Every structure is written in C-alpha cells, then in structure tokens.
Amino acid sequence: MKLLIVNPNTSSAMTEGIGRAAQAVAAPGTRIVATQPSFGPLSIEGHFDETIAAAGVAEQVRLHAGPDVVDAPSGIVIACFGDPGLDAAREAATAPVLGIAEAAFHAASFLATGFSVVTTMTRTCVIAEHLVQKYGFEHRCRGVHGTDIPVLALEDGGAGCVDAIEAAAREALARDRSGAIVLGCAGMAALCATLSARLGVPVIDGVAAAVKFAEALAALGLQTGKQGDYARPLPKVYTGWAAPLGW
C-alpha cells in the first residue's frame, strides 16, 4: 500500500523528517511517499501562511492523486496541524484523506473523556480551536495551549523544547482536568515517545495517528464519498501558475 504524506510547508528537512516519522509507524507493507508544495512558506505559523499552504496541498494532491494519475496512493495524510486544504484534497482524490489535527483529535477521543492540545505559537491556537469547533470536539478538547516555540526551532530542538512542552502539558492536564495530550504540530512527532514516558498519559502525535487510520480505512477498501460535495471538481479553466490544476 502506498500512502502519500503531504507536508504543507516548503521545508525539505521537515518533509524528510515527517516522512521518516510516518515510515517508522507504518505497517510492513506500507510505502510512504512524502512530498511538499512547489511554492509557499517555509513554516506555517498563522492564517496567511496556512492559506497559501492549503493551495500547495491542493496542488500536490492534484498531481499525485488526481484522476489521471497512475499508481495513485491508497491514502493521503496532510501533515500540518491546521489541516490546510483538507476539503480540497478530498474533492480531488478518491483515496481517503486525513488531516493530522483531525486524526489526533479522533485518537484522543478513544482514550480519554477530555484532552488538551499543546502547540507552538500562541497566535495559532485559534486555528486549532476553529478545527475543534468545526469537527465537533468542543466537549472533548478542554484547552489549546501555546508554548511560543517557533515551528522551525523544533527541528534542532533539544532538551529545551521537550522541557518546555512537558511543562505546558503538565499544566494543561491539571488545569483542564484532561486525560491525554495532543501534540499540536507535525514537527513535534519526534518528541512523542519521550513526552509520553515523562507524563504518564497518552500523548498523541497526529502524523502517526493519521498514518495508522489511513491504513485502517484503506485496508477496508473505504474511499472518500464521491456523492455530494466531495464529488470530482467540475470541469473548469484555471489560469496563471494554477493552469495545470484545472479540471
């Protein structure tokens, strides 16, 4: 089975890191293909970054999983916690598409009556909160907490990052009366095991959760529903750099 992992930002190092993290949790027969947009921000830390990145996700899914693609993936993961471009990707593909925020929220709901999110920049908390509202997790998600660690600092982030995230998680668990922690950034994947061991509660990395759930859906032969609003896009002319993305 082939899974496409789309890193919505344009940091090649992060694309590779996410690809490795995905392969590490994938089943023996699963082949991970990690990709990134041909344009856009090096990291995603706000609405503007995310809007450009969402178009980048749409581009990549169009190119790797559109109707005319040979050897299309059996599942697709969008590896940024804002789930940019999720609806567009589902419209463009037939394989199931999962966002990592979504996957993490679902996983946490199976393990605790309430969970807390620990993320990077405080200014992005509202993005996670909007997803919580949109997806229906308002009773499960008891808090979204920023640590103000820049996304790119996570890459070489040693003990300092882990300690800061651990501290934020401990405070969140106590204040929110939560039973699980969701890591609010794809770049935190590598810290998941350490944090889980330190905190003694389930710590959920959305990349891992999305990969396993995508495998699960694909194994059951389930695909994106093509009746209704996720139907194939209508035939349409696109202009400018987006011309090749037309339908």
Q: Which stretch binds a copy of itself (CB under 8 A): 15-23, 155-163, 183-191, 235-243?
A: 235-243
Does residue 37 interact with a copy of itself by CB under 8 A? yes
DSSP 113-132: S-EEEEES-GGGHHHHHHHH
CB of 20 to a copy of itself, least distance (A): 16
Q: Least distance to a copy of itself from the beta carbon of 126, Å? A: 4
Residues 128-147 that bind a copy of itself (CB under 8 A): 130, 133-140
Residue 168 Cα distances to 40, 164, 199, 207, angstroms:
30, 6, 11, 21
134 with 127: CB under 8 angstroms?
A: no
The reply to whether 243 sits near a copy of itself by the rule CB under 8 A is yes
Calpha distance 11→169 (Å, rounded)? 27
3-state class of 161 per DSSP?
Answer: helix
Angle of CA points 209, 167, 80, to nearest 5°: 30
Q: Is 43 in the site for a copy of itself (CB under 8 A)?
A: yes
* Residue with smaller CB distance to a copy of itself, 2 or 212: 212
- Candidate residues 33, 51, 72, 171; the one interacting with a copy of itself per rule CB under 8 A: 51
The footprint of a copy of itself on residues 63-92 (CB under 8 A) is 85, 87-88, 90-92
Site for a copy of itself in 166-225 (CB under 8 A): 173, 177-180, 200-202, 204, 208-209, 212-213, 215-217, 219-220, 222-225
First-to-last alpha carbon distance for the chain, in angstroms, is: 27
**Cα distance between residue 127 and residue 136, in whole Å:** 14
Count of residues near a copy of itself by CB under 8 A: 99
Nearest CA among 210, 215, 219 for reference residue 183:
210
Out of 6, 22, 30, 45, the only residue in the binding site for a copy of itself (CB under 8 A) is 45
Residue 102 lies near a copy of itself (rule: CB under 8 A) = yes
Beta-strand relationship, 97-99 and 75-78 = parallel
Beta bridge partner(s), residue 77: 5, 98
Q: Which is nearer to a copy of itself, 159 or 237 (CB)?
A: 237
Q: Does 127 bind a copy of itself (CB under 8 A)?
A: yes
